[in-house]
Amino acid sequence: MMDLVTILFIAAGLAMDAFAVSIAKGITVQDERMRSAVLLASLFGGFQALMPLSGWLAGLGFRDAIMEIDHWIAFLLLALIGAKMIWDALKGDDDEDGGLTVPIALTLAVATSIDALMVGLSFAFLEDSIILPIAVIGIVTFLLSFLGFMFGCSLGKAFGGRIRMIGGVILIMIGFKILADHLL
């Protein structure tokens, strides 16, 4: 059986993309920050827990199919959302509240959790229970995403609407990092 320390390290590693994206998205939100923080953290934590379970259940056949395109999917989703954030900042739409919509939050949750699917596949080979790992992954991701979002909100409050451009650039850079990690 996998020990708790190992599971915590895996959970923290999986949560890093969600943490960084949470900071970037938190920068843009001006209204309903607590609701947005809970929504994003819940979706990130939920998807980070669901994806390893899905990977664990899917087994080897699905792994080969998704491994060839997972990095492209994550890159595309993050790049599109990042580009929209930059566009909004350049337009100077200060009236826009930068709120977090459910479709955007779902897209970000999927983009940041695809690697967790692969981790779930590796858990299948260990022939261990998946319950503790997915619970820990979900909780750690929720907490780090919530804290990251609130930190991003503080940055957005301190630096104003133009910081949205930085948030968009961060999302695009995370997308490129995911792509580079898989292609190089």
**How much is the pLDDT for 128?**
74
pLDDT class of 169 with cuts at 50, 70, 90: confident
Residue that is written with structure tokens 């981790």 in the block: 119
What's the token pair of residue 174?
């995370």
3-state SS record for the chain: CCCHHHHHHHHHHHHHHHHHHHHHHHHHCCCCHHHHHHHHHHHHHHHHHHHHHHHHHHCHHHHHHHHCCHHHHHHHHHHHHHHHHHHHHHHCCCCCCCCCCHHHHHHHHHHHHHHHHHHHHHHHHHCCCCHHHHHHHHHHHHHHHHHHHHHHHHHHHHHCCCHHHHHHHHHHHHHHHHHHHHHC
Half-sphere exposure of 167 (CA within 13 A, CB side): 32
pLDDT class of 1 with cuts at 50, 70, 90: low
Quote the CA–CA distance of 56 and 100 in Å, as a whole number.
31
Q: What is the number of residues in the chain? A: 184
pLDDT class of 8 with cuts at 50, 70, 90: very high
Q: What average pLDDT does the segment 73-90 reach?
A: 80
Amino acid at 42: S
Residue-wise pLDDT for 15-60, tens only, equals 998 998 999 889 888 788 899 999 999 999 999 999 999 888 886 5
Quote the CA–CA distance of 35 and 137 in Å, as a whole number.
22
**Domain coordinates in residue numbering, the chain:** 4-183
Residue-wise pLDDT for 87-146, tens only, equals 877 876 544 455 688 998 999 999 888 888 878 877 876 667 889 999 999 999 999 999
pTM, to two decimals = 0.79
What's the token pair of residue 117?
């699917």
> Residues 179, 71: contact at Cβ < 8 Å?
yes
What distance lies between CA 172 and its chain's CA centroid? 13
